[in-house]
Amino acid sequence: MNEEQREAKAKALLDDPIFNEAFDTLKKDLMSRWDHSGSNELEARESIWLAMRLLDKIQLHIKSIIETGHMNKILEKQHPFI
């Protein structure tokens, strides 16, 4: 798969309402679990925190694929012989 295809697939994911709903639902569920956990439930809270960070990293990775593709297009226009 070339960079343009990767960028297009990443854009399609971020534009997909079901994909976004899944992330939003998972984040809300994790926040609810965090809010309802006791301060003495350290393992549960750590797991929730890690899951929330993982969701963020997944979204950031998909966004970075789009940005990298966009930057490559700009570089090709500005410096076509590089």
Contact predicate 7/70, CB 8 Å: yes
pLDDT tens column, 25-80: 999 999 999 999 999 999 999 999 999 999 999 999 999 999 887 777 777 777 77
- Residues with Cβ within 8 Å of 59's Cβ and at least 6 positions away in sequence, in order, are 14, 23
pLDDT tens column, 12-31: 999 999 999 999 999 999 99
Residue 69 sits in which domain range?
Answer: 3-78
The span from the CA of 46 to the CA of 37, in Å, is 11
Could you give the number of structural domains in the chain?
A: 1
Give CA separation, 76 vs 15, 44, 53, in Å: 26, 48, 34
